[in-house]
Each structure stands twice: as structure tokens, then as C-alpha cells.
Structure 1
Amino acid sequence: MLDPAAPQLVVNSRTLYFSWLPADPDAVAALVPPGLRAQPDRQVFMNQYVVEDDSQTSGFGAYSLTYVGVSLSGVDAPGGENAGGWWTHYVTSSRRVREYAVARGAPTSLGRTTIEVRGGTLVAETEIDGVPLIRARCQVGETGSVISSGHHRYLTARDDQLLSSVYPYVAEPVTSFVIESVEFLEPGHSTYALRPANPLTIGFGFYAPRASFAYPGGFTVHPGGRGASAGPVGAPAERVLAQRGGERPAPVHQVPARRARSGLPSGS
């Protein structure tokens, strides 16, 4: 098992990331725990991404993942440009990633995310047990020359503590980019509470064929959880994570020929 206190790096994932206003703002607000506040407009965010090869990660291997959550007030990421977020669902195809994330407080499920682009139309779909839950459809152009970079802050809960982590990222978004639809396909599933309003109102968004980011090694404890106190975690939460065992050194992976041939730093 990977040590959940250790940082992890992911490079060149195919990433669709955007937000919307929900159909049921009260249901969305109810998903946020005491000690945190949803934004006044109850904005929901979602990241669907695919990591195609073991060589793109520091220890996760190839996998796919979708996380969905609620944008928060008062806990912005460094720089103040991105609001903090509370993860409500975290669906990954990898048991290794799931074990790592659940030890960090993420609300994990095993499932699969696919992203297909044909003729400028992108379809991203998330499923659990072979049942499609979420489907997004977009119109996408070519990778642009502008780099998007910064930080996101995500909050999770573990052992009656709210944990806050800051995630750096660098992405190469496409232009043009238009989100056409977002479907939540299973009314009986808990994700349905996050479905978008009609008409669809988008807050922010991008698609990047190459997006890189890191899972941080450290946490802070956010005040508000039961038994929580503010400040850096060298105490109890991170010690719990650090004690959950290490991992043998990751194997060396061969970079796929299609990327090695390009000679470009981004692996175009």
C-alpha cells in the first residue's frame, strides 16, 4: 500500500474540469459538513480525468478518476483565484489510488471514467459497477499556447477532523471549448443531488489533453470538525497517515514511444 502521507505526482493526464449551478441548491448545501460553508450560489465542480500509462505517475500507475464536490466560501486556495472545495464523491478505477485517497479522508468508490474525442466532440463518462452515472459532452478545439497554472484547495474529513490540502497544477487547455451538456443519469444515486440547473449555467471550465498536478504530502487541520484545532498537522491526523505503512520503491517505467518521439517537454 502507498504511504498516504507521501506526496504523489501525476503528469500529462487528459482532464475535463468545470463547474455549474445546481438544480437543487438546498440539496447541495446539505452535503457540506458543519464547519464549512457552501458558496452563496451553491456552485458544484467536477474533474474527470484519465492517466493512460504507468510512467505518468510517481506511484499510482495508470488509472482514471472523477471527483465531484461543492465550492466553498472562506477557504480559497493560495492566490485567492480558486475557491476551496468539499469533495462529495471520488470515483477511481484503481484500488491503489482508492486506498491512498480514503486514508486521506476522500469519499471514495471504485468506478471508471472514460474520455473520448472524435471530430471535435468530447464525451466524458463516469460509471460505477458498469452503470453510467455522469456524462458530459463538449466541443473542443486544439491545444492552445497558453498555460494555466495555480493551486486548488480541497477539504476532506477523517477521524472527526476536517483536513485541508493544497494541490498545485499546470495544464495546457484547448481553445475553443464549449460545454454542451452535463447529465446525471441515475436519480437513485447520491450524485443526483449535484445535477445542474436547466438551462445549464457554467461557472468555469477547461479541457486539457495534458494536465499535471501533485497530491501534497502535508495537511492542515481546518477548524470546525469535532475535536479539530487549527494549525499545521504534525499531530494527530498526519501521524495516523504516516503510520499506515510504506511502499516498496516504484518500478522504472518506459516512456511510451508516442511521447518519447516528440522531443517536447510537455510530451505532446
Structure 2
Amino acid sequence: MSQPVPPQLVVHCRMLHFGWVPADPEAVAATVPPGLRLPANRQVFLQQYVVDDAAQTSGLESYSAAGLGPDLELADSGSARWYAHHLSSSPLARTQAAVRGVPAAAGRTTIEIVGQALVAVTEVDGAALIRTTARVGGTVSRVYRGHVRYLSRLGDRLTGASCPYVFEPVTPFEIESVEFLAPDHPVFALRPANPLELLWGFYSPRSSFALPGSEAWLRY
């Protein structure tokens, strides 16, 4: 596997991360290559995060990103995820994603908190694509740690990356709305159902993870 950008470590970034049942399950399924299995509800994940300082990375500058796509069910290893879109303000991060087959494009994400009101906006070329509003507290009472597996496709081959993470979610936490604002953009196919049916989620002001994690070719 070519690695024009070496693996990276990101520590203590601000991240909003959650999942939902989509409005158009068939459109979600169409983002995944034939032969891969999705959960029956075609659930979608979204990450919106901001890395405020280059010192929080092993070799990147400060940047922001959003990634979203469907969850997968794998016969050999349980669950995994498929990145349908990766929108990042970092050219190096986009290159690292693209060389692994992830659809990567330029984008910018902001996370603003006033009191307990959080607003996260992901935009492309100055136009807002996704706006999330939530209520968040400031108490960290647990730590989420482990590995999550992401799949992507290069030509006719699949590659998988097992990415370690440590998240420190706050309480209380409540998603109030998730708006997909650009019907003409491909991310709109992954929009949530109305009424919103959330499956899980958190906000963590101290999220750490590796990009891309350990990698291996998969049979496909």
C-alpha cells in the first residue's frame, strides 16, 4: 500500500460523534460496493471534529474534518464502517484518505459552544452541508476506548484499517437536530429520517485516535 502521508496520531481534539436511521435506506446501500452486508436499518454514522493546534498531531497542521457513511456487518469480524464521504480542511489528511480509496474532498467544520448549546457546521466552498445542534455538559464520568474498523476499496480490492481510539464523552448530552442543508450534494443521500431516530452518540472535547491504524488487504 502506498503511503504518501505516514500514519498520524491525533490527541484531544473536539469531536461530535453519533449515528441515526436514514431517510432513504436504499440510497445509503448504494454507497457500498456489492457483496458487503449492511445492518437491516442501514444505519449511518457521522463524525464532526476540530483539531485546534498542530501540537495535537504527530505531523499534521491544525485542521477540521467530517466523515460519514454506513455501518457494515462482516461475517469474519463483526461490525465495521464504510466511509462514504470524508470532508477535511487538511490537504495531507485528504491525501492520506484518498490513497486508501476513501472519497475525500475539501471541507471545513466548526464546533461552537455557548453555555450548553453546541452547534457544529460542516461546509464546502462556504456553503453549509450539515448543521448539528446539541445540548452538552462539562462532566466527564467515563472513558470510551477500543478499536473501530473502517473499510475502503482500491480498484477491485478491499482494505481494512483497525483504528485505536480514546474518547472522553461529557454528560449531559442530547442531540436536538441534524440538518442536511444541500439537496444537490451527494451527502444528502445519507440524511436522517424525519422524525429523527438517533441510535447512539456523544460529544468529547478530548478525543484521541490514530490515522489510519493497522491495515490489511481483505478478500473481496
What TM bracket, shorter-length normalisation? Answer: over 0.9
Provide the rounded CA distance (Å) in 2 between the counterparts of 1:75 and 1:94. 34
Structure 2 matches for 1:212-251, cutoff 5 A?
Answer: 212-216=208-212, 218-224=214-220
Letter in 2 for 1:38: L
Q: Deviations over 1:141-196 (max 9, x none)?
A: 11313111111111111132111000000011000000011010011111111110
As a proportion of its length, which structure holds more strand? 2
Q: Deviations over 1:62-94 (max 9, x none)?
A: 1000001001112687xx6xx311100000001
Aligned residue for 1:261? Answer: none
Local SS of the residue matching 1:97: helix
Aligned residue for 2:164? Answer: 168
Tell whether 2:130 aligns with 1:134: yes
Provide the rounded CA distance (Å) in 2 between the counterparts of 1:146 and 1:75. 31
Provide the rounded CA distance (Å) in 2 between the counterparts of 1:211 and 1:38. 27
The number of residue pairs the alignment matches comes to 219
Let me know the Cα RMSD of the aligned residues: 1.7
Q: Percent identity?
A: 53
Aligned residue for 1:48? Answer: 48
Aligned residue for 2:66? Answer: 66
Say whether the 8 Å CA contact 1:170–1:212 is kept in structure 2.
yes
Tell whether 2:175 aligns with 1:179: yes
TM-score w.r.t. structure 1 length? 0.78
Provide the rounded CA distance (Å) in 2 between the counterparts of 1:194 and 1:135. 14
Tell whether 2:32 aligns with 1:32: yes
**1:61/1:164 CA distance change after superposition, 3 Å:** same
Q: Which runs of 5+ in 1 are unaligned?
A: 225-268
Match of 1:211 among 207, 213, 218: 207
Q: Which runs of 5+ in 2 are unaligned?
A: none
Say whether the 8 Å CA contact 1:6–1:217 is kept in structure 2.
no
**1:76/1:150 CA distance change after superposition, 3 Å:** farther
Say whether the 8 Å CA contact 2:163–2:213 is kept in structure 1.
no
Letter in 1 for 2:173: F
**Which consecutive aligned stretches of 4+ in structure 1 deviate over 6 angstroms post-superposition?**
none
Letter in 1 for 2:55: S
Local SS of the residue matching 1:213: strand
Aligned residue for 1:155? Answer: 151
Deviation at 1:7, TM superposition (A): 2.1
TM-score w.r.t. structure 2 length? 0.95
Provide the rounded CA distance (Å) in 2 between the counterparts of 1:30 and 1:104. 20
Provide the rounded CA distance (Å) in 1 between the counterparts of 2:75 and 2:200. 18
Structure 2 matches for 1:96-107, cutoff 5 A?
Answer: 96-107=92-103
**1:151/1:159 CA distance change after superposition, 3 Å:** same
Local SS of the residue matching 1:28: helix
Say whether the 8 Å CA contact 2:141–2:171 is kept in structure 1.
no
